[in-house]
Structure 1
């Protein structure tokens, strides 16, 4: 390794560590919003609790709406200034949400979570920034380091809830969203030290070449369709159950702390497998990992339907996180095979818009489904899981048909070159 390459690696590691630390701090706002959004919505609403999960829907809509503006802002002012701005937006969202709770305003609280979601759109870019600032051989580790920050976020967020939610009693949950202000400001301070510059590859193999196809031609590919359906459905099902789980747990007699810890286990299960998912994909193939993820989601539904003990809620949420990790990352890996580097921006933009739009709808329907049976939470929780089972099974069948067709086509091509 040359002296220049060694210095590049040191710089990349320093940059990635800063971004991973920010992921742990600013990213912790998401578990706060997810674990308390539905509970606080339930607290603020009157007799009709159908829209209790609307604030969580607002958070997901914020992530979706913020994706393109975040990219445009960072292109205009640079990633460091863009990320600092995103952390400040997260802090602003925490302030608006806390004010909504103090004023007993459901709309203001939901708006606060939407703004936290806008800040979360910047967090979604962290792993890409770390990868872009790293030499080719360090890119996978850079992504893993940032995802490791996500595991810490899964601990920091719920612990912030447990220790601060009653800070302003009798106003429930307000303290946790005041804590989000602190998380955003601390993250902004850390990100302000960031010295980041995209690493320029000199290998001709990494330079985008070839004409761009139309978006319609790309979307029409069977592999794109299957990857898109499996990825979006996996994410939507995860949101569908995750959003309703805290409400279901509290409705079944468990404490807010126990519900929050359940979300903590879930978010850790979402991120922790990422350290090995890439290796598993390399060894067993993308389609196999997607199928495994869908089977784990089905197992989650079966565990949830087996009873309402605390361990069943927690185990179901852990399986939900792992199933999402395998299914979504595997499907994303499949998707990357359907477009060239020159086509990635338009494909990823359309994909993420459809993805987070569907996720937002799923989170809204979670609250409506929980309230289908006149407030009988046990029946509502069962309904969520009965919906998950056939949807995951259909995706599994679609994937199996595609794999069989793909293998048959490959076999015919081998025999008739």
Structure 2
């Protein structure tokens, strides 16, 4: 079996045409899995905070569900990264999605038996789906060249849009499904999440073969054989540049993610407090998620053609604008809150794709998946901290204050990129 797999990979190593065919095929499989994965992540975003508020009886800890599933996604990011590096994307990603589906099933059971302990454990496990959904963006880049990397990332993310936009808008219908099954209405979206995540995992496990990461590793090993002698001082300089790139890419990903998660987490609670119903909340979150993923194709082209630095700075400015609009928007104004959340999604999209491209540029195939997983751990931990603190900020200050804090953090991206430009000259 092993030798068959090796000979299958071997045919791609020596043929550029076969590599391009596999690159396109892998992208299609990743896109299909991302449609399901997008629907899975939407449940936690839309109703996680509302479910916790109902079960806890207070708003103060409404950010806890997002904190738990982002904390769970931190552990999952590490595990998925390690599994992918060792066994390939197929095993790592399918494991993460199926774990997320099992977590969603646990949330459904917890809501039915009113068990806070099971809810918290299940939300933690459910976070594996969120981490995997993000890490799947890397799978399409394994066989991409330097000028295709951001575009390949963005193609994978565009596919997420279909499921991620449909998910929040299915909150009310899925609530009715849950009610018809004698379950709490807020458990409904997690039924969708369980099915979607498990389907995403099975799609990757069955169809993502030969594994693009394993093929890319074999190609790199062959190239290394052909270029056996490399100047040692060039390697030293390259490693230094790589460390700087990984740090900068990670910082961009962390800042853009913590701003987005913090404001997004408290928006459903803020809207509900001003009289909005679940359908209105679902629509706003659906448009927010569309703004997170739908612009991806254009963003990827921008990053590849105009450059990483330009898009990072644009991300900071857009996120800062989102924070200000959220801060000044009347709580009962659907128009202004929708605008704030759409800007928030777009700014996050710019930060995610430019930061991802910087990380890919700064790693080689031997350490890429492992490094990507480690960076995503810090991204998830930052998101978890942002989720917890967002609930505390809103409970003891206001939603407007949360917007102002987001603006301040977003503007930090601009001096960071100016510093990098001077440092690398």
Could you state the TM-score of these two structures normalised by the residue count of structure 2? Answer: 0.82
Give the Å deviation of 1:44: 0.8
For 2:159 and 2:294, how far apart are their aligned partners in 1? Answer: 10
Structure number with the bigger relative contact order (C-alpha 8 A, sep ≥ 6) is: 2
Shifted more, 278-287 versus 137-146: the winner is 137-146
Unaligned runs of 5+ in 1: 374-379, 411-417
Aligned positions of 1:179-198 closer than 5 A:
179-194=192-207, 195-198=209-212
Aligned positions of 1:118-197 closer than 5 A:
118-132=128-142, 142-169=152-179, 171-194=184-207, 195-197=209-211
Q: 1:234 to 1:116 in 2, by over 3 A?
A: same
SS across alignment from 2:412: helix
Kept after mapping to 1: 8 A contact 2:148/2:304: no
Unaligned runs of 5+ in 2: 1-11
Q: Which among 18, 29, 34 is matched to residue 18 of structure 1?
A: 29
Q: Which among 341, 351, 371 is matched to residue 317 of structure 1?
A: 341
Shifted more, 29-38 versus 67-76: the winner is 67-76
Deviations 1:286-315 (A, max 9, x none): 222111111111111222233221011111
Aligned positions of 1:213-232 closer than 5 A:
221=244, 225-232=247-254
Give the Å deviation of 1:150: 1.1
Alignment partner of 1:38 is 2:49 = yes
Q: 1:392 to 1:141 in 2, by over 3 A?
A: closer
Aligned residues: 398
Deviations 1:326-355 (A, max 9, x none): 233323434555555556466545432222
For 1:230 and 1:189, how far apart are their aligned partners in 2? Answer: 32
Give the Å deviation of 1:220: 7.4
* C-alpha RMSD of the superposition: 3.4
SS across alignment from 2:206: coil
Give the Å deviation of 1:143: 3.4
For 1:210 and 1:267, how far apart are their aligned partners in 2? Answer: 47
Aligned positions of 1:260-275 closer than 5 A:
260-275=282-297
2:4 maps to none
Shifted more, 147-156 versus 324-333: the winner is 324-333
SS across alignment from 1:254: coil
For 1:366 and 1:196, how far apart are their aligned partners in 2? Answer: 43
Give the Å deviation of 1:228: 3.9
Q: Which among 294, 300, 304 is matched to residue 278 of structure 1?
A: 300
Deviations 1:351-384 (A, max 9, x none): 32222211110011111112114xxxxxx21111
Give the Å deviation of 1:278: 2.8
Give the Å deviation of 1:68: 2.4
For 1:401 and 1:79, how far apart are their aligned partners in 2? Answer: 35
Give the Å deviation of 1:91: 2.0
Kept after mapping to 1: 8 A contact 2:84/2:91: yes
